[in-house]
Amino acid sequence: MSLRSKALALVEVLLRVPPLFVVDEFLKISLGLPVSGEEVSILNNLTTDHIDVIANSSYYDSQFYNAFFLTFLKFFICCLGCLSALCIFVLYTKHLIIVYLYLMSVGIVFVSYWTNVSAVKQIKLTQAAAAADDEPYASVLEDILNLNTKSLLDVEGPGLLILQNFTIQFTLAVLFQNVHLGPRHSVMQKVLPISFVAPSLIAMLPFPIDVLHHSPVFATLLPLGVVKCVLWSSAYGVVQVLYSGYQHGRMFVSNYGLSALVETEWMRLNIPCVLRVFWVVRVSEHAILLLMDNYDDDTDESIKVSTLLAVQSLASMAKSLLVTGCETITAVLGMTSVISFFCHYIGNFFQWILLTDEEEDKSIGAVSAILFYILALQTGLTSLNPEKRFVRLCRNFCLLFTALLHFLHNIVNPMLMSLSASHNPSTHRHVRALGVCAFLIIFPISLLVYLWSQHSISTWLLAVSAFSIEVIVKVIVSLMIYSLFLVDAYRSTFWEQLDDYVYYIRAFGNSIEFCFGIFLFFNGAWILVFESGGAIRAVMMCIHAYFNIWCEARAGWSVFMKRRTAVNKINSLREASSLQLNQLDDVCAICYQEMHSAKITRCNHFFHGVCLRKWLYVQDRCPLCHEILYQIENDLSKDSSDAGLEENMNNQNHLLEEEPDLLLGDGVR
């Protein structure tokens, strides 16, 4: 991407940040809803202090309905403002620039009016002071004609004030000429600067005080007329743009679906980057305010302060920034985007260590963002007071770190299996993978030691401990299987029991994970009932119970039954004798390894028992001649037998595709 393209992309991102600040300000006041209890206190005061008034009049009803109407009106205005800001946020860049140009022209008019009013007030005060001292008031025009530079440049005199206001108004007039979207007639373009500087010109002349007092209002008539003309002339175009956007969205959804529309708009608006810039600007603004509050011009104590106090001050400032950085939903979204950014590069760092570049592993940023946002909503982060919010935020970060450990295990586990199964001689790749595994064991243990030494037992601590122990168990299981594969790689003979050992180890690890899933479900149920309930937590518990408990148990039981059935089928076949194997002197047709033991099928073909068992996971026919491998019970007809076997084969193929990681783990597939 060229430098020009990067600059344009940055400008487009910056243009979409202000609407988020508008929404954020409305959310800070809770959309106008009573959060401090002021409106509710009216009712309490009425019931205690005005009982006699209420009993003899309709004072209570009028106050109640007035408070309700004002609350509803504020809520409606805030919702309308949020909706307008979101509509501006999703506009195309060319329409967004038009909106900003119009808002700039309106802002210039109001700034011009405010500066004119301020200047007129100062001039009136100067005239009043001169009248109180019985001094003749000389107009600025007289001082200019008399070349009285001393009076003109007097700081307390009106001359310098009028000159400053004239300069400001002329600058605003030039900006308005280039910004406004109205018709650019030559006569009007020449009159506009005169309209802006008219109060300054009137202040120079000896006009009556009433004329000077009303001059700012008349000075804004022409620019306000231009702005209003633009608004009325563009009303139809605005409605047309909104309607065309609605039509485009509806057609896109009907053709490609809602998810495709969301994904397309997400990429077009570059929402993660916009949220990131919004949060950084928001936190930077708060940091500047904190620094200004803590800065003392009179003393140099900031230089004399000790290092410990400086560190404490920085820690307090960081705490304040974190607390204010998640006080609204928009702020939480911005923090989520920043966390996603850092987690993405953490994933890239570990991928660099492991020398891998899998596309699926690069989703760590998105997964972390979703997890953090769900945790924020589930724990009601924005509704807590600052102290509790900071504690809850730290706990959410701790849970997020444990989730990152699980994600890192998902990156390193297939690499371990690949290195051991492929007989990879690259020593440094083995060392890198084992180093990451050591980190995934040492870090959770250190975290658990610190948390249990610093905090008392709680549901949150139990959840973090469960996640940490689970990742330790998963890493140990991966290392055990990795060791088995390495041993098998250096064996000269076929290791028939390897598959059983791998199965038992994975079954143990996944059973531990299943038990932790049940434990976390009951832990969440306790939190839901006795600590902090909520609809989001209840929904997440239902999802956890269905996918992580019920589906895993059902699929794991299916895998177990399929394996047991395959073992029974293999045991029903004849075992080849040593004499038969010596006479055959062949290799297994499935694994191409030498046969020291074998099973004989009904069609007199020889295979390793473990290889044949793996083959039975796929289908029940001989790999060479496709004959049925075992005798069908109940003497069914061949057609019905073939149909049943075909159905069984399809069912087993379906199970193989949907086989979870409960008992067998990722590496078996």
Q: pLDDT tens for residues 502-556?
A: 888 988 988 998 999 999 999 888 888 888 777 888 888 898 888 888 888 888 8
pLDDT-above-70 percentage for the chain: 80
Residues 213 and 115 reside in one and the same domain: yes
Count of structural domains, the chain? 4
Residues 603 and 478 reside in one and the same domain: no
Q: How confident is the model at residue 152, as a pLDDT?
A: 56
Q: Residue 528 falls within a domain, yes or no?
A: no
Query: Residue 403 is inside which H or E element, if any?
Result: helix 386-421
The closest of 200, 208, 59, 29 to 118, measured between CA atoms, is 200
Average pLDDT over residues 48-54: 46
SS in 3 state form for 5-19?
A: HHHHHHHHHHHCHHH
User: Could you tell me the pLDDT band of residue 309, with boundaries at 50, 70 and 90?
Assistant: low
User: Could you tell me the pLDDT band of residue 669, with boundaries at 50, 70 and 90?
Assistant: very low
Residues 370 and 235 reside in one and the same domain: no
User: Could you tell me the pLDDT band of residue 654, with boundaries at 50, 70 and 90?
Assistant: very low
Q: pLDDT tens for residues 196-243?
A: 888 888 777 777 777 778 888 888 888 888 888 888 888 888 888 888
Residues 277 and 201 reside in one and the same domain: no
Average pLDDT over residues 264-285: 93
More confident residue, 128 or 162: 162
More confident residue, 327 or 655: 327
The span from the CA of 487 to the CA of 491, in Å, is: 6
Residues 204 and 263 reside in one and the same domain: no
CA–CA distance from 197 to each of 168, 172, 218, 228, 563 (Å)? 9, 9, 11, 21, 91
Q: How confident is the model at residue 302, as a pLDDT?
A: 46
More confident residue, 86 or 559: 86
Residue in the structure block whose two tokens are 């969440």? 524
Average pLDDT score, the chain? 80
A 10 A CB-CB count for 66 gives 12
The span from the CA of 151 to the CA of 158, in Å, is: 9
Tell me if 337 sits within 8 A of 269, measured CB to CB.
Answer: no
Q: Residue 74 falls within a domain, yes or no?
A: no
The span from the CA of 474 to the CA of 505, in Å, is: 10
Q: Residue 64 falls within a domain, yes or no?
A: no
Q: Residue 54 falls within a domain, yes or no?
A: no
More confident residue, 555 or 302: 555
Is residue 340 scored above 70 in pLDDT? yes
The closest of 343, 334, 326 to 402, measured between CA atoms, is 343
Average pLDDT over residues 634-652: 40
Q: Is 510 helix (H, G, I), strand (E, B) or coil?
A: helix
Q: How confident is the model at residue 500, as a pLDDT?
A: 80
Q: How confident is the model at residue 246, as a pLDDT?
A: 87
Average pLDDT over residues 594-614: 83
DSSP assigned state of 380: T
Q: How confident is the model at residue 590, as a pLDDT?
A: 82
| Strand pairing class (606-607; 574-575) | unpaired
Q: Where among 168, 195, 227 does a domain terminate?
A: 227
pLDDT-above-90 percentage for the chain: 25
Among the listed ranges 268-272, 299-303, 358-362, 611-615, which one has the minimum average pLDDT value? 299-303
**Diameter over CA atoms, the chain:** 135
Residues 205 and 237 reside in one and the same domain: no
Q: Residue 477 falls within a domain, yes or no?
A: yes
- Token code pair at residue 510: 């996944």
Supply the pTM of this predicted model.
0.77
The span from the CA of 283 to the CA of 433, in Å, is: 38
More confident residue, 62 or 186: 186
Q: pLDDT tens for residues 376-389?
A: 988 888 888 888 99
Q: How confident is the model at residue 143, as a pLDDT?
A: 58
Residues 582 and 624 reside in one and the same domain: yes
Q: How confident is the model at residue 663, as a pLDDT?
A: 29
- Token code pair at residue 491: 């064996």
What phi, psi does 325 have (nearest 5°)? Answer: -80, 0
Residues 591 and 465 reside in one and the same domain: no
Q: pLDDT tens for residues 452-498?
A: 999 899 998 999 999 999 999 999 999 999 998 888 777 777 777 78
Residues 249 and 102 reside in one and the same domain: no
Q: pLDDT tens for residues 21-50?
A: 999 999 988 887 876 444 444 444 544 444
Angle at alpha carbon of residue 531, lines to 526 and 534, rounded to 5°: 90
Question: For the chain, what's the residue count?
Answer: 669
Q: pLDDT tens for residues 561-592?
A: 877 877 777 777 888 888 888 888 788 888 87
Domain that holds residue 323: 270-294+305-490
Residues 318 and 409 reside in one and the same domain: yes
Q: Is 102 helix (H, G, I), strand (E, B) or coil?
A: helix
Average pLDDT over residues 289-302: 61
Is residue 608 scored above 60 in pLDDT? yes
Q: Residue 217 falls within a domain, yes or no?
A: yes
More confident residue, 634 or 199: 199
Is residue 435 scored above 80 in pLDDT? yes
CA 136 to chain centre: 68
Provide the residue type at 99 as one letter. V
What phi, psi does 628 have (nearest 5°)? Answer: -65, 135
Residues 115 and 242 reside in one and the same domain: no
Please provide the DSSP assignment of 586-612 as one string: -B-TTT--B-SS-EE-TT--EE-HHHH
Q: How confident is the model at residue 586, as a pLDDT?
A: 82
Q: Residue 516 falls within a domain, yes or no?
A: no
Among the listed ranges 147-161, 250-264, 513-527, which one has the minimum average pLDDT value? 147-161
A 10 A CB-CB count for 513 gives 20
More confident residue, 546 or 150: 546
Q: Residue 547 falls within a domain, yes or no?
A: no
Residues 268, 270, 272, 274, Cα dihedral to 10°: -140
Q: How confident is the model at residue 640, as a pLDDT?
A: 36
Residues 122 and 173 reside in one and the same domain: yes
Q: Based on C-alpha coordinates, what's the Rg of the chain?
A: 38
SS in 3 state form for 193-205?
A: HHHHHHHHHHHHC
Average pLDDT over residues 153-161: 62
Here the CATH number for the domain that contains residue 603 is: 3.30.40.10
Instruction: Give the sign of the dihedral formed by CA 417, CA 420, CA 426, CA 429.
Output: positive
If 0-12 CB within 10 Å is exposed, 13-18 middle and 19+ buried, where does residue 340 land? buried
User: Could you tell me the pLDDT band of residue 303, with boundaries at 50, 70 and 90?
Assistant: very low
The closest of 379, 373, 380 to 400, measured between CA atoms, is 373
